[in-house]
Chains A and B, each alone.
Chain A
Amino acid sequence: MAEQFDAIVVGAGPSGNAATYTLAKAGLKVLQIERGEYPGSKNVQGAILYAQALEQIIPDFRDDAPLERHIIEQRMWMLDDNSFVGTHYRSDDYNKPPYNRYTIIRAQFDKWFSSKVREAGALLICETTVEHLLLDGDTVVGVHCDRMGGEVRADVVILADGVNSTLARKAGFHGEISSKNVALAVKEILFMPEETIQSRFNIKEDEGVVIELMGTVTEGMVGTGFLYTNKDSLTIGVGCMLSDFKANPKKTTPYALLEKLKRHPSVAPLIEGGEMKEYAAHLIPEGGFNAVPKIFGNGWMIVGDSGGFVNAAHREGSNLAMTTGRLAAETVIAARAAGRPMTARTLKAYKDALDESFVMKDLKKYRNLPDVLEKSPQFFTTYPELVNRAAKTLFTVDGVDKMTKQREITGSFKSARKFTGLVGDAIKLWRATR
């Protein structure tokens, strides 16, 4: 195929759509290639949409984007096997537009985003898998796909091909992902009437609740669970580091873990009666700052999950994806305007822009967290157990005097972690998150 494009974007998730949209809006001739039947059909997320990153690209997205509920309440739960201790933050400030974040259903959202991309003038080809990059020496000159006569060429190729980052790996730009740097998450979507969701979660129409949880449900593995309210469905899921799944002596399957979460006595009443309509699994790049590979070179840039742009500590990913996609596109636009070739030298501006943005600043802030958590499974099992035991001791009225109860609680913490362990854990966590 002789046709030459200004840019090719591989993938139609949040980063690929952000990049393609930005390029097309600037008048560039862009080809976007998506392997799914339609944009979204291969994509999996929790899913929470943070408004700000999308606002920068499509300011009036609220007019017609398929948004489920805006979030007015955030719950954080620490579970043992029978109970939870939690904090709930609910504010009416989150009920004032413009709303800060929403639950979304990715297959619908990505389809909508893609319609904006096409309106902006980009050419989208679906049901086409890019098999490998076309290289001229170490310069990417195009892609080879399983349709359309194979080869398509462009001045620059933006890799938005997702967490497995197949194309950059095959081209030798980086190696295989480490199982310590990705979480494996599984989830289900459970349908039930809107009114049921609203009464169970104490919310009105369009209002939503997010529950993030951790504890014994992950069997000592580093991981968390979540429960999100959509319009007429709930999303429930659990994810743990892939290396932990692999090394778990109990050999628990991801779906058994999800089932265990669904049957937890604090969770089961919330999801009761929900009709399960889809089961999904996905890897989440959680290696953070130290795991970000080389993200640009001669004729190529990496955006989104493919570059590991996820802030695991804050459960943010799609906003980083959209921001990296936009910044990569802006780099191309500026380079063209200046008449510069798409060499590594030129595209370094993308890395510089990322370093200046919240994306790399946030990843840098938490750069030691993945390592600390990996070496401290007590945060995910021992502490939730201790806290739940303490709450039970404190709130059970049984004739035992309060001072004795207090000693029992202090004693349980000390015997589980020792005084030095408790102080050490506090310091470790503070250092990794300050």
Chain B
Amino acid sequence: MSAAVNVEDKLFQNRYKVDHGRPHIQIKDAAICANDCAEQQCTYVCPAACYTAEGNGAVTLITDGCLECGSCRVICTEHTNVAWEYPRGGHGILFKFG
């Protein structure tokens, strides 16, 4: 895609109750992303851009904008490196319209 799309503008419209300090999704072993995963598909498949490919080969995850779809867990089949839970009750995305 040539047209740059700023997903932040989209996520900004959403309502969240962030569970500070308790991310519901975690990368199990950062070294696996950096060394064993060439494609790092989570960095472009995640619809909320929670995963970022850093210049040094690492992948960082910030779950604050997560839409709780589950895609990152489902696509990480080769390495199953995503520890995925729903947020604690009442936390996470709170859809106004759904």
Q: Which residues of A contact B (CB under 8 A)?
A: 35-37, 40-45, 47, 105-108, 110, 126-129, 131, 145-147, 163-164, 166, 176-179, 182, 184, 186, 188-189, 233, 242-243, 245-246, 250-257, 259-260, 263, 276-283
Which B residue sits closest to A166, measured CB to CB?
B86
Within 8 A of A (CB), among B31-55: 41, 44-45, 47-49
Question: Assuming the A-B contacts A179-B77, A260-B1, are A276 and B10 also in contact, with contact meaning beta carbons closer than 8 angstroms in the complex?
Answer: yes
Could you pull out 16 A-B pairs where Cβ atoms are within 8 angstroms?
Answer: A35-B87, A105-B97, A107-B96, A127-B89, A128-B90, A146-B88, A147-B89, A166-B85, A176-B77, A184-B69, A252-B44, A253-B49, A260-B1, A276-B13, A283-B69, A283-B71
User: Is B62 in the interface zone, CB < 8 Å from A?
Assistant: no
Question: Assuming the A-B contacts A164-B70, A254-B45, are A126 and B95 also in contact, with contact meaning beta carbons closer than 8 angstroms in the complex?
Answer: no
A126 to B10, CA, bound (A): 27
Question: Assuming the A-B contacts A106-B98, A281-B67, are A35 and B7 also in contact, with contact meaning beta carbons closer than 8 angstroms in the complex?
Answer: no
Cβ contact within 8 Å between A278 and B86: no
Question: Assuming the A-B contacts A251-B44, A282-B69, are A44 and B10 also in contact, with contact meaning beta carbons closer than 8 angstroms in the complex?
Answer: no
Cβ contact within 8 Å between B75 and A105: no
Question: Assuming the A-B contacts A35-B89, A107-B95, A107-B97, are A283 and B45 also in contact, with contact meaning beta carbons closer than 8 angstroms in the complex?
Answer: no
Additional A-B contact list (5), CB under 8 Å, known A40-B98, A179-B77, A245-B75: A36-B90, A176-B77, A245-B45, A281-B69, A283-B71
Report the minimal beta-carbon distance from A367 to chain B, rounded to whole angstroms: 22
A176 to B79, CA, bound (A): 13
B75 proximity list for chain A (CB < 8 A): 179, 242-243, 245-246
B89 proximity list for chain A (CB < 8 A): 35, 126-129, 145-147
A282 proximity list for chain B (CB < 8 A): 67, 69
Cβ contact within 8 Å between B94 and A41: yes
A176 to B68, CA, bound (A): 16
A246 proximity list for chain B (CB < 8 A): 41, 45, 75
Which A residue sits closest to B4, measured CB to CB?
A256
Report the minimal beta-carbon distance from A239 to chain B, rounded to whole angstroms: 10
Cβ contact within 8 Å between A188 and B94: no
A280 proximity list for chain B (CB < 8 A): 14, 67, 95, 97-98
A147 to B44, CA, bound (A): 35
B10 proximity list for chain A (CB < 8 A): 188, 255, 276, 279
A28 to B32, CA, bound (A): 50
Cβ contact within 8 Å between B95 and A42: yes
A129 proximity list for chain B (CB < 8 A): 86-89
A107 proximity list for chain B (CB < 8 A): 95-98
Report the minimal beta-carbon distance from B66 to chain A, rounded to whole angstroms: 9
Cβ contact within 8 Å between A242 and B97: no
Which A residue sits closest to B40, measured CB to CB?
A251
Between B10, B85, B87, the greatest number of chain A beta carbons within 10 A of the residue's beta carbon is seen for: B10
